[in-house]
Structure formats: C-alpha cells, structure tokens
Amino acid sequence: MSADGSSSGSDPDNSRPAKRVPARPLVLVGLMGAGKSAIGRRLAGRLGIPFVDVDAEIEKAAGCSISDYFERYGEAAFRVGERKVISRLLDGPVAVLASGGGAYMDAETRALIGEKAISVWLRAELDVLVERTSRRNDRPLLHRGDPRAILADLMDKRYPIYSQADIVVDSDEGPADQMTRRVVGAVRRHLNRHPELAAPC
Ligand code: S3P
C-alpha cells in the first residue's frame, strides 16, 4: 500500500493532462459516499478511458434496482452477483470502475482486483460520509438503523481491509475536480513507480 494520494494536493503537474494511462483497469474502492462515482467519472475523463459504475452494471444484469435485489435475494446473493459482474468487467477494456462499497470486502473479489487491476481507496471521514449519503435514499444497508452508527461500524470493519488497496487518497468535502486532480497525481506516481502497469504510449 502507498498512501501517496494524501499529500498530492501540492503536485504542480496536477492540472496537466495525465500522460500515463494504466494498462489495467482502475478500481475505486471505499465506503458509500466516498465519491467513487463522482470522482471516477472525472478521473476516466482525465485519463481518456471509459467509466463504468459497477452498481449500475449489476442493476442492468439483474433487471432490478440494488434495493430490490437486496430485498428479494438478500446480501449474500448480491455479493455473488457483484463478484461475477466485476470479474467480467476486469476482463474487458481498460476503464475506471466505481465498485460498490462492499465489493472489496469479498475475499475472492479482492483477489481478482489485486491480480487484474490497480485499486484506489477513497478514504473519507465519518462526517463526510454521513453528509454525502444523506442526499440519496437508495442504499439498503443504511435503512437498517441510524446511518451514522452504521457507517461508523462499517468504517471499523472495512477500513483495515480497504487499506490493502494499491493507492490511498483522502476524500474530503473539497470540490470534486480538486479530488480528481489528487487521484490523477496519485495514479501517475504509482505508474511512475511501476512502469510495467502503464500502457505503452
Ligand atoms: C454497498 C454499497 C453500495 C451498493 C450496495 C451495498 C455496501 O454501493 O453496492 O448498496 O455494501 O457498502 P455504493 O458504495 O456505490 O453506494
């Protein structure tokens, strides 16, 4: 793990187009509200590669919403479907994938991501997650009680696992474009350190 994103705000190169493009998919991991979709979309634009929202792909494959999926089949079945969809996407064209918050917690999914992708953890504080998740009502896990308490509990359980990601970037309440520059800088530094993971130009 390299927590190299946390100090990247001072990278003077951040505003330039990203020169190096990864040869593998970039998988954004992190809790609900960390900004995976918002940042992922912008990151993909900066890198000139497609963006894929994994939850949306699951909904397409299942023909129902994530909430309905949880209700009808339960969380365990959802994780199996999620793993299949991620596995398929990892074998597709290089893209930025915004994974659902629980995906990286599944040992098999995590191993697949480790083998075939570059993982980026968007690490956020509790207040940020509570504020951002309060804007939407389509996350079944947060309907089970007090969202703040649920998110705090998920942080305890998940952050030690998320910390296994290749790159860690702090996600704060700053503008999405600023966050995206931070991630671009962190990815660029990772590719400079691991040139074998960069696409030949
Ligand atoms: C989940 C996060 C959600 C979605 C599902 C379960 C989780 O995705 O996959 O509701 O276990 O944290 P987002 O993280 O994109 O909200």
Residue 15 has pLDDT above 70, yes or no: no
**Two tokens, residue 3:** 């927590």
Q: Could you state, in order of their start, the residue ranges of all structural domains in the chain?
A: 2-197
Report CA(192)–ligand 1 centroid distance (Å): 31
Residue nearest to atom 11 of ligand 1 (CA): 102
**What pTM, to 2 d.p., does this model score?**
0.91
The mean per-residue pLDDT over the stretch 84-101 comes to: 98
Measured in angstroms, how far is the CA atom of residue 185 from the centroid of ligand 1?
Answer: 26
Q: Has residue 87 got a pLDDT over 50? A: yes
Model pLDDT, residue 9: 36
CA 142 to ligand 1 center in whole angstroms = 9
Return the CATH superfamily for domain 2-197. Answer: P-loop containing nucleotide triphosphate hydrolases (3.40.50.300)
Which tokens go with 132?
């951002």
**Of 26, 162, 54, 60, which is closest to residue 106 (Cα–Cα)?**
162
Question: Ligand 1: residues whose CB is within 6 Å?
Answer: 32, 36, 55, 66, 100-102, 139-141
The rounded distance, in Å, linking the Cα atoms of 129 and 135 is 10
- CB-based contact 117:28 (threshold 8 Å): no
Residues 6+ apart with CB under 8 A from 95: 25, 26, 44, 49, 50, 51, 52, 89
How big is the chain, counted in residues?
201
Q: Cβ(32)–Cβ(24) under 8 Å? A: no
17-75 pLDDT tens trace: 556 899 999 999 999 999 999 999 999 999 999 999 999 999 999 999 999 999 999 99
**Residue whose CB lies within 8 A of the most ligand 1 atoms, among 28, 31, 32, 158, for a mutation test:** 32
Strand partners, 121: 29, 168
Residue 56 alpha carbon to ligand 1 centre in Å: 11
CA pair distance 155, 17, nearest whole angstrom? 33
